[in-house]
């Protein structure tokens, strides 16, 4: 190989090395470009996710949208078809709710009023109505003629309300504006004395407040634009917070919600005249130091956390458990006056859509109320249910 050939070979080798280096640089550059693109996409997704989370879970809980409505809306947010498609995602609940309901009004469901706008009052204001767009349904009760739904203002700017619906026609009748902004998480109807009991919260004590059915029927918010005062109010001794309530066998059963640890349900006897049983205890009176009467529980049952509602069905007890976006549960227990109602003791647990609140027994049916369609939770819920469901009670408790 002569000198010229050797030189040519060296130049080719050098050129090949240069091409390899150039190729490596190009590949590295391409990899970094792809990596930067991936990082940018992830950052955009993270920012979008954070923004969505803030808007859905924080902003909507603290701000109310404006409305041009001047009366409580009575129309559904979703069509009947959309609603049934939502419920059908849970086939078991769908069967409980819609089997043999073809002949019932709206398949047995009741539209929750006021989810777009509710006529009420601003806190500490009377004489002039105000519109609330963040009313959140909480409690449920059924009388001989009415289905009642309680709701509170999520932004705490307005008085809590009770929506009155005709039990037969399912039509909205009126709103009852209460003289409180409490959570009103539970209601119970005393069928013997015809009083509606509503949970409340004082500065120190949990409360049970009553409205007579007569006063509830007579009240018209538009007469003077004033709230309806409670006929009776009791501080509840021993229970921490009144989160839910039901009526059974001449007594109120009141429980409080906890996120994790165990909680309790207290039983408060109702006297023959409709008042709550008060224990005469001078030491208790000195300890309480309040004007309102103090009702004392006669028994207590331990429950698991995250309980939102309670109902009796024949010799069964049903508890609803719900928290956030996770599926709700209805747990069924055999009734025992002193039994522990913890999750492990339930003989049946049924998964329900998220944000299930109070349930209520009436005849052979169990009614179920959800808060997922309220403005504050609508963007943070997968299954948005804007109607009260009427469930087959005997099928629900069947082992």
Query: Which CATH number does the domain housing residue 335 bear?
Result: 2.120.10
One domain, residues 107 and 188: yes
CA distance 358 to 43: 41
Round to whole Å and give the CA distance between 304 and 266: 14
Per-residue model confidence (pLDDT) at position 154: 96
Same structural domain, 21 and 110: no
- Burial-class residue 194 by CB neighbours within 10 Å (0-12, 13-18, 19+): middle
Distance of alpha carbon 195 from alpha carbon 177, whole angstroms: 17
**Spatial distance between the Cα atoms of 247 and 238, rounded to a whole number of angstroms:** 19
Same domain, yes or no, for 150 and 14? no
Residue where one domain finishes, among candidates 62, 79, 104: 62
Same domain, 287 and 389: yes
Instruction: Give the end of a domain, one of 15, 40, 62.
Output: 62
* CB of 214 closer than 8 Å to CB of 196: no
At 221 the pLDDT is 97
Does 22 share its domain with 112? no
CA distances 88 to 83, 84, 148, 229, Å, are: 9, 6, 26, 41
Question: By C-alpha distance, which of 371, 240, 207 is closest to 197?
Answer: 207
Say whether both 370 and 253 belong to one domain.
Answer: yes
Tokens read off for 103: 């002949």
The C-alpha torsion from 28 through 34 and 40 to 44, rounded to 10°, is: -160
The reply to whether 165 and 32 lie within a common domain is no
Its pTM stands at: 0.89
Residue 282 CA to residue 264 CA, distance in Å, equals 26
Per-residue pLDDT of the chain (399 residues; tens, 9 = 90+): 666 666 666 666 666 666 667 667 777 777 777 777 877 777 777 777 777 778 778 889 899 999 999 999 999 999 999 999 999 999 999 999 999 999 999 999 999 999 999 999 999 899 999 999 999 999 999 999 999 999 999 999 999 999 999 999 999 999 999 999 999 999 999 999 999 999 998 777 899 999 999 999 999 999 999 999 999 999 987 788 899 999 999 999 999 888 877 889 999 999 999 999 987 654 555 455 555 688 888 888 999 999 999 999 999 999 999 999 999 999 999 988 777 888 889 999 999 999 999 999 999 999 999 999 999 999 999 999 999 999 999 999 998
**Total of domains in the chain:** 2
Contact status, residue 339 vs residue 347, Cβ threshold 8 Å: no
Claim to verify: residue 217 and residue 73 sit in the same structural domain:
yes
Q: Please indicate, yes or no, whether residues 16 and 103 belong to a single structural domain of this protein.
A: no
Do 54 and 82 share a domain, yes or no? no
Nearest to 159 by CA among 204, 128, 190, 203: 128
What torsion do the CA atoms of 322, 352, 382, 359 make, to the nearest 10 degrees? -60
Q: Domain of 9?
A: 1-62
In 102-142, at which residue ranges do the beta strands (DSSP E only) sit? Answer: 110-111, 118-120, 130-132, 135-142
Q: Which of 331, 330, 332, 322 is nearest to 383 (CA)?
A: 322
Name the strand (E) or helix (H) holding 60. Answer: helix 60-62
CB atoms within 10 A of CB 269: 17
Same domain, 83 and 218: yes
Contacting residues for 30 by C-beta, under 8 A, at least 6 apart: none
- Amino acid 282: pLDDT: 42
Domain termination residue (choose one: 46, 62, 78)? 62
Q: Is 109:151 a contact under the CB 8 Å cutoff?
A: no
Same domain (yes/no): 347, 275: yes
The rounded distance, in Å, linking the Cα atoms of 306 and 261 is: 9
């Amino acid at each position: 190989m002569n000198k010229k050939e050797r030189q040519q070979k060296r130049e080719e080798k050098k050129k090949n090395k240069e091409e390899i280096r150039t190729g490596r640089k190009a590949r590295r550059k391409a990899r970094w470009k792809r990596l930067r693109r991936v990082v940018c996409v992830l950052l955009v997704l993270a920012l979008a996710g954070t923004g969505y989370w803030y808007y859905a879970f924080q902003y909507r809980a603290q701000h109310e949208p404006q409305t041009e409505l001047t009366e409580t809306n009575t129309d559904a947010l979703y069509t009947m078809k959309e609603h049934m498609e939502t419920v059908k995602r849970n086939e078991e609940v769908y069967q409980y709710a819609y089997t043999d309901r073809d002949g019932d009004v709206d398949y047995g469901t009741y539209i929750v009023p006021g989810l777009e706008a509710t006529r009420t009052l601003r806190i500490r204001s009377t004489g002039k109505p105000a519109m609330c767009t963040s009313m959140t349904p909480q409690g449920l009760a059924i009388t001989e003629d009415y289905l009642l739904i309680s709701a509170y203002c999520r932004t705490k700017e307005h008085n809590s309300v009770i929506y009155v619906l005709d039990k037969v026609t399912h039509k909205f009748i009126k709103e009852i504006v209460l003289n409180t902004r409490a959570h009103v998480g539970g209601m119970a109807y005393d069928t013997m004395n015809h009083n509606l009991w509503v949970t409340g919260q004082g500065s120190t004590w949990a409360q049970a407040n009553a409205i007579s059915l007569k006063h509830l029927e007579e009240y018209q918010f538009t007469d003077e634009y004033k709230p309806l005062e409670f006929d009776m109010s009791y501080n509840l001794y021993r229970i921490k917070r009144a989160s839910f309530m039901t009526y059974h066998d001449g007594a109120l059963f009141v429980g409080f919600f906890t996120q994790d640890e165990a909680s309790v349900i207290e039983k408060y006897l109702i006297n023959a005249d409709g008042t709550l049983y008060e224990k005469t205890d001078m030491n208790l009176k000195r300890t309480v130091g309040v004007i309102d009467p103090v009702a004392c529980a006669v028994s207590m049952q331990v429950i698991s956390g995250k309980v939102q509602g309670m109902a009796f069905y024949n010799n069964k007890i049903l508890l609803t458990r719900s928290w956030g976006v996770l599926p709700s549960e209805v747990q069924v227990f055999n009734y025992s006056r002193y039994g522990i109602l913890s999750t492990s003791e339930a003989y049946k647990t049924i998964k329900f859509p998220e944000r299930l609140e109070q349930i209520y027994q009436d005849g052979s049916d169990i009614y179920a109320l959800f808060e997922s369609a309220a403005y504050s939770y609508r963007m943070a819920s997968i299954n948005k249910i804007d109607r009260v469901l009427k469930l087959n009670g005997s099928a629900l408790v069947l082992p």
